[in-house]
A and B are shown apart, each in its own frame.
Chain A
Amino acid sequence: MDEAPRAAYTRAKTHPEAPMTFRQRHLLGIEPLHPTEITSVLDLADRYVGLNRQTVKRSKALKGLTQINMFFENSTRTQASFEIAGKRLGADVMNMAMQASSIKKGETLIDTALTLNAMHPDLLVVRHPHSGAVNLLAEKVNCAVLNAGDGKHEHPTQALLDALTIRREKGRLHRLTIAICGDIAHSRVARSNLILLGKMENRVRLVGPPTLMPSQIDQFGVEVYHDMEEGLKDADVVMMLRLQRERMDGGFIPSEREYYHRYGLDAAKLAHAKDDAIVMHPGPMNRGVEIDGTIADDINRSVIQEQVEMGVAVRMAAMDLLARNLREAAGSESVMV
């Protein structure tokens, strides 16, 4: 039997419910994923949404596995989401606040990784302020690594949860016009999203002041707009990004009030999008800076709370799929104790 059919056969046997395609050791970004792999994650996540809505939210998918959350950058929401996802799947979850620990003692990232690796975790969830740091770490450990955001590079689970939200709201994840608005340059969320939405054959627009656009971004197969009304015209999805207040010091924009006036999402600007356009935001929001409070709270337009819900499901799905690949790779080596 060939390698691929054998793997599929094994998978069908061990997980009869899931003929999934996801051939990754790590989830470091959206860039390395094939569209079918993205679909696999979303399909499985859809099922976990159902589980999460039950009163008893337990699965054994990660039973016996150890998940370590290493956050080198402050995070409440993402870390909580990963923690809940791991716990619902039965993993033993540990959180490490890295700012407080060995980094202060001068230990390098690689040494920290090797130390943790020696404790045999199965899933390592990492957030780091520097682009590429999670890739570096993944080279040095044996477990599956999930990127929970690295610098200005990628934030793959955020893009996947956004995709799931869109797919559930719009009934499809292709041929949609999606406007990503705001601080694109400093946003890993924007990067992962534009790669994912491009891979799934959507029309992606980036809207924001030119000072907050990455260089040569027009070469990514996206349309760039500096005017909100033009950028939102006939959009199916309006995705707002957080304006990081610390960017104000760099002289990227003249003031918050001018930014809100020109790029903040309010009813007048949203009127240019399609009537059934949905509004998204990765959170945490700055009400009155990038988004008007009433829009954010409008249950007919805003899917911001749903995004948070999808976040848990998508992270469960991603960790489940990576764990399946781990087990498959271990194969006959695994010993019952």
Chain B
Amino acid sequence: MITTFTNARLINPETGTDEIGSLTIDGGVITALNGSEAGQVIDCGGKCLAPGIVDLGVKIGEPGERHKESFRTAGAAAAAGGVTTMVIRPDTTPAVDTPETLEFVTRRAGRTAPVNVHSMAALTKGREGREMVEVGFLRDAGAVAFTDCDHVVENPKTFARAMTYAKSLGALVIAHPQDPTLSKGAAVTSGKFASLRGLPAVSPMAERMGLERDMALVEMTGVAYHADSLSTATALPVLARAKDAGLDVTAGVNIHHLTLNELDVGDYRTFFKLKPPLRSEDDRLAMVAAVADGLIDVISSMHTPQDEESKRLPFEEAASGAVALETLLPAAMRLVHAELIDLPTLWRAMSANPARRLGLPGGRLAEGAPADLVLFDPDAPFVLDRFALQSKSKNTPFDGARMEGRVLGTWVAGTRVHG
């Protein structure tokens, strides 16, 4: 079916443009930009039309924790949030570390999620950092990247071997840079706030130490590497040096580290307990600047559903993580409205770059690209009610927050899945 979107603000991350125009789709792909009107016409009324968000690092509760999130609920949340591709994490119970579990996940996703789902696999068995997984089989089964998520592979020898092996297969390794002994048991970032609240804290230096080590191993092995969630200013020069040296390295930041800081934890509010923990305002601003100038490549939601029970605990005992599929876009709009970043640059980080890094076809507004689109009003204000979220878990730090930016419609392969 042919559909033409007219009178749309086309946000094009590849060309860096933000202009009124029209876009035509047919058979699940984009067939024309600013072509003639054909088929069904959708007047966008001057609202923004952009490639759907490619969210790198979504946690689904399947297998193991379906009471927290299922493919159906996460898919609905993604569609409502303008996320057309979820790249899901293997930190499930059990971990996605065999072709069989990957096949289960792929089957469940295909059956119930209305958006594209690509799966990452663990890098080591059980994410325990001892033996590498069957990288080859898992790649054949569709794993787009290999990561132990927030578990750091502590033994550099094991990590280097896994990297070398992955490199030979052209596989992307994603890691969470952190010095695991320094950060053990920490709930917040060390500093005045942590001292005042008396919470166990980790120095921001732990992230830099983790990244320094990983960069040395990348230099040694030549693997393609992505740091999934940098959050501190002190780690940025390390990343810049590695990129300047020509290493195949990219890095991401989580939306919460761009929009919140450690003080938001306030009176021990566990919905603000994240991993890595929220940082200082200086760190937040440094991360925003790094996204704006392209040093940081990817913005993710790091969607981590947690049920009420795992959050209704003293801060130290409470689980980490926040749901964010639906709040990613309006939270990111805060950066746009604060004039820290423009829309095409934002979409480069939320759509084009993650797609390119993982070798996925989305993230582009061009002829032949998939018709994965999000239509949104960047200025529409609303107050977030966590119980109105589609996710099964409601652990958002933005409950009751005033936000701007509403998704009006989401299309996946030309089919409208939201709005």
The SS class assigned to the A binding surface is mixed
Q: Are A132 and B267 in contact (CB under 8 A)?
A: yes
Partner pick for B196 among A109, A136, A191, CB 8 A cutoff:
A191
Q: Are A216 and B316 in contact (CB under 8 A)?
A: no
Q: Report A's interface with B, CB cutoff 8 A.
A: 31, 108-110, 128, 130-133, 135-136, 150-154, 188, 191, 214-217, 219-220
Query: What is the distance, in angstroms, from B343's C-beta to the closest C-beta of chain A?
Result: 37
User: Which residues of the other chain, A, contact B309 by a CB distance below 8 angstroms?
Assistant: 108
Given known contacts A108-B309, A109-B314, A131 and B191 CB-to-CB distance under 8 angstroms: no
Query: What is the distance, in angstroms, from B262's C-beta to the closest C-beta of chain A?
Result: 12
Q: Are B198 and A191 in contact (CB under 8 A)?
A: yes
For B187, give the chain A residue with the smallest CB separation.
A131
Given known contacts A215-B201, A215-B203, A130 and B195 CB-to-CB distance under 8 angstroms: no
Q: Are A215 and B312 in contact (CB under 8 A)?
A: no
Query: What is the distance, in angstroms, from A232's C-beta to the closest C-beta of chain B?
Result: 23
Given contacts A130-B314, A131-B316, 8 further A-B contacts (CB under 8 A): A108-B312, A110-B313, A130-B316, A131-B197, A132-B314, A136-B314, A136-B315, A154-B198
User: Which residues of the other chain, B, contact A219 by a CB distance below 8 angstroms?
Assistant: 192
Query: What is the distance, in angstroms, from A214's C-beta to the closest C-beta of chain B?
Result: 4
Q: Are A220 and B199 in contact (CB under 8 A)?
A: no
Query: What is the distance, in angstroms, from B267's C-beta to the closest C-beta of chain A?
Result: 6
Query: What is the distance, in angstroms, from A247's C-beta to the closest C-beta of chain B?
Result: 14
Q: Are A128 and B198 in contact (CB under 8 A)?
A: no
Sampled A-B contacts (8; CB under 8 Å): A108-B309, A109-B313, A130-B314, A131-B197, A132-B267, A136-B312, A136-B315, A215-B195
Top 8 A-B pairs, shortest CB-CB distance = A132-B268, A152-B198, A153-B198, A214-B195, A133-B314, A130-B314, A131-B198, A215-B190
Number of interface residues of B (CB under 8 A): 20
B194: Cβ under 8 A from any A Cβ: yes
B317: Cβ under 8 A from any A Cβ: yes
Query: What is the distance, in angstroms, from B319's C-beta to the closest C-beta of chain A?
Result: 13
Q: Are B191 and A216 in contact (CB under 8 A)?
A: yes
For B270, give the chain A residue with the smallest CB separation.
A136
Q: Are A151 and B198 in contact (CB under 8 A)?
A: yes
User: Which residues of the other chain, A, contact B268 by a CB distance below 8 angstroms?
Assistant: 131-132, 135-136
Within 8 A of A (CB), among B161-213: 190-192, 194-199, 201, 203
Given known contacts A108-B313, A131-B316, A215-B190, A220 and B195 CB-to-CB distance under 8 angstroms: yes
Q: Are A135 and B195 in contact (CB under 8 A)?
A: no
Query: What is the distance, in angstroms, from A33's C-beta to the closest C-beta of chain B?
Result: 15
Given known contacts A130-B315, A131-B268, A132-B314, A153 and B197 CB-to-CB distance under 8 angstroms: yes
Instruction: Tell me the bound Cα distance from A128 to B316 in angstroms.
Output: 12
Within 8 A of A (CB), among B281-332: 309, 312-317
Q: Are A131 and B203 in contact (CB under 8 A)?
A: no
Instruction: Tell me the bound Cα distance from A94 to B314 in angstroms.
Output: 24
Partner pick for A151 among B196, B313, B316, CB 8 A cutoff:
B316
Instruction: Tell me the bound Cα distance from A257 to B6 in angstroms.
Output: 80
For B193, give the chain A residue with the smallest CB separation.
A216
For B191, give the chain A residue with the smallest CB separation.
A216
Query: What is the distance, in angstroms, from A118's C-beta to the closest C-beta of chain B?
Result: 18
Q: Are B196 and A130 in contact (CB under 8 A)?
A: no
Instruction: Tell me the bound Cα distance from A217 to B193 in angstroms.
Output: 10
Given known contacts A108-B313, A136-B268, A151-B316, A131 and B199 CB-to-CB distance under 8 angstroms: yes
